[in-house]
Structure 1
Amino acid sequence: MRREYLVTMTTRVPDGTPSHDVDGMRAREAANTRRLAEQGRVARLWRPPLGPGEWRTLGLFTAAGPGDLERTLAAMPLRVWRTDEVTALGPHPNDPGPGEVPLAADGGEYLVTFVLGVPDTASAAARDEAFAREAVRARELAAEGHLARLWTLPGRGRNLGLFQAAGAARIAEMLRSLPLADWLTMETVPLTRHPSDPASAAP
């Protein structure tokens, strides 16, 4: 069974590297990414907000396990200039599933990290009712094309969502609409689709 991983890839080009060498490396990386996408090993690529001189990519990869993922990452041409931070993603009961929500043609994408903190004063009945309403709202957001994926993260009460929304105000409105919103600490990262993103390149 293949698992999913979010990989933060940070590239640092050595000082003095000729621009034609950088261009050649990028071309080889793009060609390799296309092969990995055809093999089902890389599903998505994004760029998070970047500061001056930063070169970072977020990737959604699939692999049979950590060793299999490392073999994929080690074979990528840019690995010689790059460090990778891997986060294992687990299944979430409210996840719409890969490919179930169409990629929005003009909407922005956002990764949202959720940390759940249920108050000690909340009764078991209140918790169950809130979680049930959250599942209903997740299905609604998926049906509307807004919630694309949902995973669990390592650590208690931590989850990660991939959302589609037309701007920061709209994603903020959606997150406020979650029944568990008052119990959640949320961090939102706006994404830009990478030129080699397999989903964006798909017909």
Structure 2
Amino acid sequence: MEFLVTMTTTVPAGTPEAEVDDVRAREAANSARLAEEGSLLRLWRPPLQPGEWRSLGLFEAPDAKWLEETLAGMPLRIWRSDEVTPLAPHPNDPGPAASDGGADSPEFFVLFVVDPAKGGPADAFKEATAAEAVRTRELAAEGHLARLWRLPGDGRALGLWRAGSPEEMRDILGTLPLTPWLTTETTPLTAHPSDPASRP
């Protein structure tokens, strides 16, 4: 089972820099171990405000309890809060292999919310849903769509995408047949030094 974990770290004021460096070094070593074990699949940094310390991690775990035990054992957990989102399989997901590599291509998370009543008649929505499956396969073959998951809640999904720029990402999303029924939210991602995909 896969989980997206939003990890927000707040270092207490007055913490010696040497202690922070030590914890960060141990966190990096622990992340490398989890990646080797297959528990940590990817790491990213979302847009950050000055002084903000936040990461997004894609984890593989048998269940939420096992994941919590893993997160609790990470060195930065002493200063960190974690928000866990379970990810369910999506029928249009290209599969885990598609998310490997791609470190040289800008990546984006796109949150999709589908409202069948928003864009037109039920028959049109059904036709667009079928066309969406075809289009996502094309975009996966072109290297733009890396992963796609269902999120908790009706009609919600999360995609990991690659595009040369935010403008190209917007244009790609505009080609989706379900666009009239979609609300989207795009988050640009930047490289994390401990991302397993960046390891040789």
TM-score, scaled to structure 1: 0.95
Offset at 1:120? 6.6
Amino acid of the residue matched to residue 189 of structure 1? T
The equivalent residue for 2:14 is 16
Q: Residue 107 of structure 1 contacts residue 167 of structure 1 at CA under 8 Å; is this kept in 2?
A: no
Task: State the alpha-carbon separation in 2 of the partners of residues 186 and 120 from structure 1.
Answer: 13
Confirm or deny that 1:196 pairs with 2:179: no
Offset at 1:124? 3.7
Offset at 1:193? 1.3
The equivalent residue for 1:118 is 116
Task: State the alpha-carbon separation in 1 of the partners of residues 103 and 64 from structure 2.
Answer: 33
The equivalent residue for 1:43 is 41
Offset at 1:126? 1.8
> After TM superposition, which residue ranges in structure 1, 4 or more long, deviate above 3 angstroms?
120-124
Offset at 1:177? 0.6
The equivalent residue for 1:148 is 146
Offset at 1:118? 1.4
Can you give the 5+ residue segments of structure 2 that lack an aligned partner in the other structure? none
Task: State the alpha-carbon separation in 1 of the partners of residues 129 and 159 from structure 2.
Answer: 16
The equivalent residue for 2:73 is 75
- Percentage identity across paired residues of the two chains: 62
The equivalent residue for 2:107 is 109
Task: Describe the superposition over 1:82-113 as per-residue Cα deviations: whole angstroms up to 9, x where unpaired.
Answer: 00000000000000000135532432000000
Offset at 1:52? 1.1
Task: State the alpha-carbon separation in 1 of the partners of residues 141 and 119 from structure 2.
Answer: 33
Task: State the alpha-carbon separation in 1 of the partners of residues 115 and 158 from structure 2.
Answer: 15
Can you give the 5+ residue segments of structure 1 that lack an aligned partner in the other structure? none
Secondary structure, counterpart of 1:17 in structure 2: coil
Offset at 1:128? 1.9
TM-score, scaled to structure 2: 0.97
Task: State the alpha-carbon separation in 2 of the partners of residues 101 and 155 from structure 1.
Answer: 24
From the superposition, tell whether residues 102 and 44 of structure 1 become closer, same or farther in structure 2 (CA, over 3 Å).
closer
Offset at 1:121? 7.6
Offset at 1:119? 2.0
Confirm or deny that 1:5 pairs with 2:7: no
The equivalent residue for 2:168 is 170
Secondary structure, counterpart of 1:61 in structure 2: strand
From the superposition, tell whether residues 46 and 120 of structure 1 become closer, same or farther in structure 2 (CA, over 3 Å).
closer
The equivalent residue for 1:127 is 125
Of stretches 96-105 and 171-180 in structure 1, the one that deviates more from structure 2 is 96-105
From the superposition, tell whether residues 35 and 102 of structure 1 become closer, same or farther in structure 2 (CA, over 3 Å).
closer
Amino acid of the residue matched to residue 26 of structure 2? R
From the superposition, tell whether residues 121 and 182 of structure 1 become closer, same or farther in structure 2 (CA, over 3 Å).
closer
Offset at 1:123? 3.6
Task: State the alpha-carbon separation in 2 of the partners of residues 88 and 81 from structure 1.
Answer: 23
RMSD of aligned Cα (Å): 1.2
Confirm or deny that 1:93 pairs with 2:80: no
Offset at 1:200? 1.3
From the superposition, tell whether residues 113 and 120 of structure 1 become closer, same or farther in structure 2 (CA, over 3 Å).
closer
